[in-house]
Amino acid sequence: MKTLLLFLSVVVLSGAVSAQSTFQWDTNDTIETNLTPNVTEQYPMYQSVVGNDTVTLAIEVIYNDLPQSWDGMVCIFGICMGQIPPVGTQATMSPIYGSNQGMIRLTVNPYNGTETAKLQVMVWDVDFPNETDTATFLLNTTLSTPELLASNVEIRPNPVQDVLSIDSDYDLNNAQIINTTGQVIRKFELSSVQQVLNVGDLPKGVYTVRLIGDVGTVDKRFVKL
């Protein structure tokens, strides 16, 4: 099974503000963020005018390996594209001047994806097309410890008559059988060579097996025939 790195917060890379002759970044031009499964989040970057002129910025998607199973869209100042656009997509922002800001905003939801991905967008002043810069979004999907543990532990067969086997990528130390009223009615010690539970003497019904290891605890429901 795939091993995922766990992250606890969104990290924005620090660095000097990149300035062009007619526009500059009001935020860093690279964002590295750790996405939460099934949560839609937005990540904007802003640009402003250098001087007193009116500037019109254009963009082109130059790299996009976001999985098709993810949902999202890209908006720029004055327009939303309605989806995460493929490589080669170009668009032009509304003109910016004074205190107005240009914007590139990524909205994304990875659902239950476990991939990493990158989106890069080139930005330039339409009057000075050789003056370019790049906005980069580096995306990692994350799972909390309980979700990660649950996704890497399986019990079988289910329903079960006699012996319940445990498949896990983690070291598990103990197991408890819990009935529907929340009472612990059986306790087991587990080891690398003992990953089965004898449940043949349990009455028919629905139970929860609580598996306890060094990385956390996970509950799995099973049916006793």
Query: Do 23-141 and 145-224 have matching folds?
Result: yes
Which pLDDT tens digit goes with each residue over 24-80? 999 889 999 988 878 899 999 999 999 888 999 999 999 999 998 899 999 999 999
Q: How far is CA 156 from CA 149, 160, 221, in A?
A: 16, 7, 11
In whole angstroms, what is the distance from residue 32 CA to residue 4 CA? 16
Q: Does domain 145-224 have CATH number 2.60.40.3080?
A: yes
Sequence spans of domains, the chain: 23-141, 145-224
What pLDDT does 94 receive?
A: 96
What pLDDT does 217 receive?
A: 82
From the CA atom positions of the chain, what is the Rg in Å?
Answer: 26
Q: Does domain 23-141 have CATH number 3.40.50.300?
A: no
Nearest to 211 by CA among 157, 143, 154: 154
**Cα-Cα-Cα-Cα dihedral of 12, 106, 17, 140, to 10°?**
30
What is the value of pTM for the model shown? 0.58
Place of tokens 């060579």: 193
